[in-house]
């Protein structure tokens, strides 16, 4: 296992040089995934946190402190900024939030995040994320950094199920998984999301998928991505009520050294 860390001075220097979304040296962290008794990876907690309107300067002013803090938290398995994909040019894209994949049991620690403490986020969504296709190890090592040398861009897709879509989802699940696996060069990691804390410990609610989160690469633009998504059996069966597409730049990725 190895870990590359950054000093405060290096963060400050990088922050001073920043002219785009985010800029500093590469970070790639390898760390053993915790396994369940069945030999399967324990689900992650997916957190989508969205910035307050006009919070760009607040994010920028606290970026260094946030990065220093985040790189010291081994329970953050995956993390990076989300950007608006409506801009016509990548350099004009606006960071609108953050995505984190956390080891279970550490959500409360997010209160210590400098971004949280200064009130950067307007709202957040949290789910249990059960990865079924791909893995954290699928991220190219030279793409996990603020100024990636790997020029492929990433998109994060968050599909929210329609009410009453469970039967359609279950009926199409194997076809959906086969479709994703057939696109393994594009689908980095994907899985269904579930309610994090169902009311009154409702087991039935906890086992009901609420949507899907997948991270993909290898698309020239959002239009090409949407054309690919149209072939998803879930899409064809009208499972999703909303599909949100964000640009995503992985900054932290902690990977099991034995992952495929």
Cα separation of 12 and 67, whole Å? 10
pLDDT at 90: 57
Domains of the chain, CATH where assigned: 8-255 (3.30.70.1060)
DSSP code, position 148 = -
What is the rounded CA–CA span in Å between residue 113 and residue 237? 40
pTM, 2 dp: 0.82
For residue 91, the model assigns a pLDDT of: 52
Q: How far is CA 230 from CA 45, 132, 157, 170, 179, in A?
A: 27, 20, 13, 18, 11
* Strand-strand pairing, 29-30 and 252-255: parallel
pLDDT for 88: 62
Closest CA to 257 of 28, 71, 36, 100: 28
Name the packing angle between helices 63-70 and 8-17 (round to 10°): 140
Q: For 10-58, how does the pLDDT look when each residue is reduced to its tens digit (9 = 90+)? A: 444 444 433 333 333 334 443 334 444 444 567 899 999 999 999 999 9
Which pLDDT does position 148 carry in this prediction? 64
The predicted structure's pLDDT at residue 157: 98
Within 8 A by CB and 6+ apart from 106, the residues are 45, 73, 75
pLDDT in tens, the chain (260 residues): 223 333 334 444 444 433 333 333 334 443 334 444 444 567 899 999 999 999 999 999 999 999 999 999 999 999 999 999 986 665 567 899 999 999 989 999 999 999 999 999 999 999 999 999 999 999 988 888 776 666 678 999 999 999 999 999 999 999 999 999 999 899 999 999 999 876 556 666 667 999 999 999 999 999 999 999 999 999 999 999 999 999 999 999 998 643 33
Cα–Cα–Cα angle for 8, 11, 17, nearest 5°?
Answer: 145
């Amino acid at each position: 296992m190895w870990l590359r860390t950054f000093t405060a001075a290096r963060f400050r220097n990088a922050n001073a040089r920043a002219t785009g979304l985010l800029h500093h040296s590469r970070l790639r962290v390898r760390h053993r995934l915790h396994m369940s008794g069945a030999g399967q990876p324990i689900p992650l907690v997916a957190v989508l946190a969205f910035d307050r309107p006009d919070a760009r300067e607040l994010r920028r002013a606290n970026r260094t402190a946030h990065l220093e803090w985040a790189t010291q938290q081994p329970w953050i398995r995956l993390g990076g900024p989300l950007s608006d994909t409506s801009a016509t040019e990548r350099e004009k894209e606006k960071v609108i939030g953050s995505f984190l994949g956390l080891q279970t049991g550490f959500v409360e620690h997010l209160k210590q995040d400098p971004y949280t403490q200064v009130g950067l986020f307007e709202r957040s969504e949290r789910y249990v994320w059960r990865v079924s296709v791909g893995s954290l190890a699928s991220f190219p090592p030279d793409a996990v950094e603020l100024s990636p040398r790997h020029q492929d861009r990433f998109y994060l897709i968050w599909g929210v199920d329609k009410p009453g879509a469970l039967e359609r989802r279950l009926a199409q699940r194997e076809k959906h998984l086969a479709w994703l696996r057939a696109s393994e060069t594009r689908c980095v990691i994907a899985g269904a999301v579930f309610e994090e804390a169902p009311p009154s410990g409702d087991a039935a609610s906890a086992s009901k998928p609420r949507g899907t989160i997948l991270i993909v690469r290898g698309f020239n633009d959002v239009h090409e991505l949407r054309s690919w998504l149209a072939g998803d059996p879930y899409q064809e069966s009208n499972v999703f009520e909303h599909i949100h597409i964000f640009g995503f730049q992985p900054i932290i990725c902690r990977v099991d050294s034995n992952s495929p």
